[in-house]
Amino acid sequence: MQGTRLAGAQFRYKRVDILRAVTVNRATHAKKYEVARAKYMKALTEKLKRMLGQVVEGQDVVLNIPLRKPVEFLKEYDQAIRMLELTCDEDIELDGTTFARLVLDDWPWKEDFASSTGSYLRG
């Protein structure tokens, strides 16, 4: 099959295989978020403690906290998982976009998630 014929095509997949993939992707997403959130909270706490120390000592405090809060998209996974659990169909049809999201974990918000968690996950 030529690549150009894949555009807009729909294929049938076993529901349990798609459900398994989405469940694994959700667990990976949740773990990354929790690690990033814990590191964010630690960095935020340290910054606020320093600022409080400055206040107590009567120093001027710059009220700027340049920390990006991690974001999570678990509701997207939860909706897909629930739909796959409740369908009566054992085989389901997916187009390329839906397959990329559910199986390849390639969502429109992927870059936003990576940029909000990346600095915490690297360090």
33-89 confidence digits (pLDDT tens): 999 999 999 999 999 999 999 999 999 998 899 999 999 999 999 999 999 999 999
Q: Quick check: is 85 in a domain? A: yes
Q: Quick check: is 101 in a domain? A: yes
Q: Quick check: is 1 in a domain? A: no
Q: Quick check: is 89 in a domain? A: yes
Q: Quick check: is 60 in a domain? A: no
Q: Is residue 116 a contact partner of residue 68, using CB atoms and an 8 Å limit?
A: yes
Number of domains in the chain: 1
Whether the pLDDT of residue 123 is over 90: the answer is no
Q: Quick check: is 24 in a domain? A: yes
17-38 confidence digits (pLDDT tens): 999 999 999 999 999 999 999 9
What was the pLDDT predicted at 101? 97
Q: Quick check: is 111 in a domain? A: yes
Specify the length of the chain in residues: 123
Cα-based distances in Å from 31 to 11, 28, 105, 123: 31, 5, 14, 15
Q: Quick check: is 104 in a domain? A: yes
Nearest CA to 118 out of 46, 76, 67, 70 is that of 70
String of DSSP letters for 21-37: HHHHHHHHHHHHHHHHH
- Around Cβ 2, how many Cβ atoms within 10 Å? 5
What was the pLDDT predicted at 8? 76
Question: What are the structure tokens assigned to 82, written together?
Answer: 């629930």
Q: Which domain holds residue 87?
A: 12-37+66-122
| Residue at 12: amino acid letter | R
Cα-based distances in Å from 88 to 15, 16, 77: 10, 12, 19
* Backbone angles phi and psi of 120, in degrees to 5: -80, -35
